[in-house]
Structure 1
């Protein structure tokens, strides 16, 4: 990221204020809650009492990160108008949520789910299916957390003009994140998400306004300049690009919807009404966030013509510096914007870390090692192993190697393979554990093999989508071949159907 000419001490002041607010929020979220560190539900799911405002903003922070600004503006600059796909694939995530979230929420209340693996274990009653799904989801979480750590370091270093070096920036904000998460659990994460979401939205609006001022306030004129200078960026995309667009819609739509930290926010909702209202409001956010970011990237084309790929990656810093020079108001708003970007990245990182800790605590330690441990002990184990995971990822992020790109690419390709277990498993009673296991395994192996051999897309189709097609084929055809026992039919009738058991199975929460 381009270092800000106006950063320095101003950036340090803004980041210090953000850090203090986050720590204060964490303290307030945990104050007076005696059961917070004695109940898995209280610590990891805020007691399943997140109301409309907190739920909306924590869902917003889960779907959008500071990387959406830093990465999507250069992507729009390089790609042109075909980057409109970014709006559609952020919109389709909401559509996928609505396919399964209300039903999963109802079941999570009835069956006392804490983690995504609780659903899979309860539905399929198979250790190998549960373990494989845990591995795939933890892979995605570690991958996502690593991305956020690298982004925090680059963002803070850029905002302060290098006054705070990359490595120390990562360490400082990891400490802040760990402290407020330890103090307040999910409530602290959700409440800081409110602040971070507002800061990010305000900053995007101001950046767009400044970009419009720089191009003379006329989008039509800017578009005409693009048509004259780089007509390929307004032309109808070739067939392979269109196929790739559709592939990306499926990859991001299904992949992001089954993020473990996203599913846990479904569990944490105070009511089904709050959940549905939050999604109704989230349906507008792609236009307000990704849509505005897309416009900013388009406006940057005539402002900074001729940047190569490496140069375009510095575009946000270049544009912010230009906007900051318009007026002192824009100067301070741009400092606030970059503070908001850092805060948004942290808001994503803290959600991922909390989910990772809960899965280690509940799905590994409590399920397979010490089922009889107290909730306090389970929470402590989750916290400690969360810190260990951060320490390991920090060592990688300290000097991130170029080969991490392939790991980044594999995030959605691997995670999307658990989608059939949720979407098909919630509605189709015949779906059997064996085909689900072999489908997930085959899909993940195919996606990984294609990525690491250089075939990230085949005729525009992502390896993860090809893996998902193989996965679904095995799940569906295999389930038709398997004969369910009377006991298995009874279990699926209770879980998938609307038949209430005499006593709901306790998943150990």
Structure 2
């Protein structure tokens, strides 16, 4: 891409030249979300905690709902404002270095913890797989060296392609393993609660487990703020539509039926994991294996011992387990490297060449891998504990994104220092509460540090806003009147202004500031479910419905005889309450499918309104060619600046002023739109200039019929 002048070096390395299609995007997102914890962690958790592992499947709708609610708006802002990192939106929206680097620290910290979890999972799996002592670190070091080489050599392009292959291997193995076990050993319907090795799995979950189940589903909304997934939002609509096929027939886009991998994925990955873990309990018990360090590996070893096709599936499954861990690790590593390079190194060395920055980027990848390796190797409490601290950390960035993305007026945007204080308080609380109370405390109450941490985060942000940075909001809340005394510098109605050193460079985003009105104008005509109280209430209600809210510990197992007082009711061999939760979980998935089905294939471009009422030049999207070249750290994009300036001139020429644009005043009658040829209308000019900016060859007008040239040169009287 660099040799063909299709991208600069950094954009090519970190964003693959923004050239991925929906299949490749779907593959890399699938492999990144359904990570090593899905392949190994869900079976292992189900082996140790039974059908409680089902929580990973039920939380997936809220992961995707978070993506949809924030992703469509972040993607549109990225197309208009030319974002390249997950922090660019925060920088552009709030114009504060303090908040910018607070969110950056949260995302880097969460990503390194996530990589450390992959290190821990890879070490236990690989070593168990090949009979190497669990404490031995050299295999995982060698594997991460390979991952680092992939990232150094090919950047995101290599990562995305390898992710897609790894995701395919994982899907194939997880589709085959349950059928192999069912054929050669038996399934849930063959298990007998009386002779089952862990009969307590058939009991209803404890109150603590039910409370943790609900909180876990809720906190997974924060997935969208993981930096390796925020980068995918750059091509978000293609990813959510996954395999939308468009046919051009008579210049009309026809939408064909869409397979939704993002919704089918959990059923292909998480539910088989619960099956493998719970049936594996009896398999290993019958084989005389007790408390294996990696239950998943021990279960697959049983498949290998059966020979034939089960052995082939077992080999694929072992490969898939390694591939899944590697796919998440490489996505995280390149995300960390991009954040550090673009947000820290490049501002410190603005005159560095692209080649120098790329080598510095590789150095940052190396440092991130070393930190993650040391953390993961020294961590002895397993992957679950790392996951338990990772999501609460990442959750502390969510309030800043939500506050910046949505709001009816600009006054509802909190002061950036208020948000920075809230996020800092949330992070301090998260680590203190987790390691001071929950970690290694068997008597700890089921309190999710992420949920309580984000509540503290919001409380501190609002309190700082009311008492320090913008006291007029508190006065308005108390008096319910808008204070109008902006001329008085000492008036509490004037928000505290940030000092000069806190203002970042923002020329690369465009000449205008990113306001809530500009964001709303970008999304005009596009359905956003987060703005629907019905959808939000429905998803919150479904979190509670899917949670098994039932009497705990039923039916009872006698402590004296260790036998059932009454046999547990089952459906198709599984506990009745688990079967009920499977059926109830279909509801949010169906609602999510409906939301995605109703989403347009592209952002609206209302030609009729543009031709009659004009278009704010600040809303013009950059082409892929324009986004792929960044000459320096904060250089404005000359191509889009020229196109926006041209549009402003054309609007002035036809008499559409900025105030009329702001008021959305229709000027159809004044400009006699019906007498203007389509080729000379504003919408056609905008499209043509976008084509030219994309570098696409323009048709030679000298070869067109004379009638067409006359039509294009026609001027309305």
**TM-score, normalization by structure 2:** 0.60
Q: 1:397 to 1:35 in 2, by over 3 A?
A: farther
Deviation at 1:70, TM superposition (A): 1.7
Quick check: 2:80–2:619 contact (8 Å CA) kept in 1? no
Residue in structure 1 matching 2:268, options 288, 301, 308: 288
Q: 1:366 to 1:151 in 2, by over 3 A?
A: same
Secondary structure at 1:373 match in 2: coil
**Alignment-derived partner of residue 190 in structure 2:** 221
Distance 2:5 2:514 in 1: 37
Quick check: 1:181–1:189 contact (8 Å CA) kept in 2? yes
Q: 1:408 to 1:33 in 2, by over 3 A?
A: farther
Distance 1:339 1:74 in 2: 17
Distance 2:383 2:176 in 1: 33
**Alignment-derived partner of residue 334 in structure 1:** 314
**Alignment-derived partner of residue 439 in structure 1:** 422
Distance 2:62 2:285 in 1: 32
Distance 1:471 1:337 in 2: 42
Q: Deviations over 1:419-478 (max 9, x none)?
A: 111223211242221221121111111111111112369642211110011112334565
**Alignment-derived partner of residue 272 in structure 1:** 237
**Alignment-derived partner of residue 82 in structure 2:** 112
Moved more, 292-301 or 102-111: 292-301
Q: Deviations over 1:328-357 (max 9, x none)?
A: 222122122111211121111110110011
Distance 2:370 2:44 in 1: 31
Distance 2:194 2:106 in 1: 43
**Alignment-derived partner of residue 496 in structure 1:** 519
Query: Which blocks of at least 5 consecutive residues in structure 1 are unaligned?
Result: 1-29
Q: 1:120 to 1:485 in 2, by over 3 A?
A: farther
Deviation at 1:56, TM superposition (A): 0.5
**Alignment-derived partner of residue 298 in structure 2:** 318
Quick check: 2:227–2:335 contact (8 Å CA) kept in 1? yes
Distance 2:23 2:301 in 1: 34
What's the C-alpha RMSD, in Å, of the aligned pairs? 3.3
Moved more, 393-402 or 449-458: 393-402
Q: Deviations over 1:273-326 (max 9, x none)?
A: 454437942012111110111111121233234999981543212211211222
1:174 matches 2:141: no
**Alignment-derived partner of residue 14 in structure 1:** none
**Alignment-derived partner of residue 21 in structure 1:** none
Quick check: 1:62–1:351 contact (8 Å CA) kept in 2? yes
Distance 1:309 1:264 in 2: 43
Equivalences, count: 473
Residue in structure 1 matching 2:281, options 301, 312, 317: 301
Looking at secondary structure, tell me which structure has more helix per residue.
Answer: 1
Distance 1:408 1:228 in 2: 30
Secondary structure at 1:339 match in 2: helix
1:464 matches 2:450: yes
Secondary structure at 1:424 match in 2: helix
Q: 1:155 to 1:88 in 2, by over 3 A?
A: same
Moved more, 56-65 or 173-182: 173-182
Q: 1:99 to 1:240 in 2, by over 3 A?
A: same
Query: Which blocks of at least 5 consecutive residues in structure 2 are unaligned?
Result: 244-258, 473-492, 499-511, 523-615, 623-629, 636-717
Distance 2:119 2:101 in 1: 27
Residue in structure 1 matching 2:217, options 249, 259, 280: 249
Distance 2:293 2:134 in 1: 21
Moved more, 390-399 or 169-178: 390-399
Distance 1:80 1:203 in 2: 21
1:92 matches 2:74: no
Quick check: 1:159–1:335 contact (8 Å CA) kept in 2? no
**Alignment-derived partner of residue 25 in structure 1:** none
Quick check: 1:99–1:423 contact (8 Å CA) kept in 2? no
Quick check: 2:119–2:377 contact (8 Å CA) kept in 1? no
**Alignment-derived partner of residue 206 in structure 2:** 238
Quick check: 1:115–1:358 contact (8 Å CA) kept in 2? yes
Secondary structure at 1:225 match in 2: coil
Quick check: 1:77–1:312 contact (8 Å CA) kept in 2? no
**Alignment-derived partner of residue 424 in structure 1:** 403
Moved more, 395-404 or 341-350: 395-404
1:374 matches 2:348: no
**Alignment-derived partner of residue 11 in structure 1:** none
Distance 1:308 1:366 in 2: 58
Deviation at 1:228, TM superposition (A): 6.3
**Alignment-derived partner of residue 262 in structure 1:** 229
Q: 1:308 to 1:213 in 2, by over 3 A?
A: closer
Quick check: 1:69–1:341 contact (8 Å CA) kept in 2? yes
1:61 matches 2:31: yes
Residue in structure 2 matching 1:157, options 122, 127, 130: 127
Residue in structure 2 matching 1:448, options 408, 420, 431: 431
Q: Deviations over 1:234-288 (max 9, x none)?
A: 222232221111111122x123221100000111x2x734544379420121111
Quick check: 1:78–1:312 contact (8 Å CA) kept in 2? no
Secondary structure at 2:521 match in 1: coil
Distance 1:160 1:332 in 2: 17
Distance 1:258 1:227 in 2: 45
Quick check: 1:82–1:234 contact (8 Å CA) kept in 2? no
Q: 1:207 to 1:236 in 2, by over 3 A?
A: same
Distance 1:385 1:359 in 2: 9
Q: Deviations over 1:82-101 (max 9, x none)?
A: 33212111332111111111
Larger radius of gyration: 2
Higher RCO structure, 1 or 2 (CA under 8 Å, sep 6+): 1
Distance 1:242 1:151 in 2: 26
Deviation at 1:164, TM superposition (A): 12
Quick check: 1:226–1:234 contact (8 Å CA) kept in 2? no
Deviation at 1:118, TM superposition (A): 0.8
Deviation at 1:147, TM superposition (A): 2.1
Deviation at 1:490, TM superposition (A): 6.1
**TM-score, normalization by structure 1:** 0.83
Quick check: 1:431–1:479 contact (8 Å CA) kept in 2? no
**Alignment-derived partner of residue 394 in structure 1:** 373
Q: Deviations over 1:175-217 (max 9, x none)?
A: 222222222211111111111001111112222122223433x
Moved more, 258-267 or 137-146: 137-146
Write out aligned runs for 1:398-413 (5 A). Answer: 398-400=377-379, 409-413=388-392
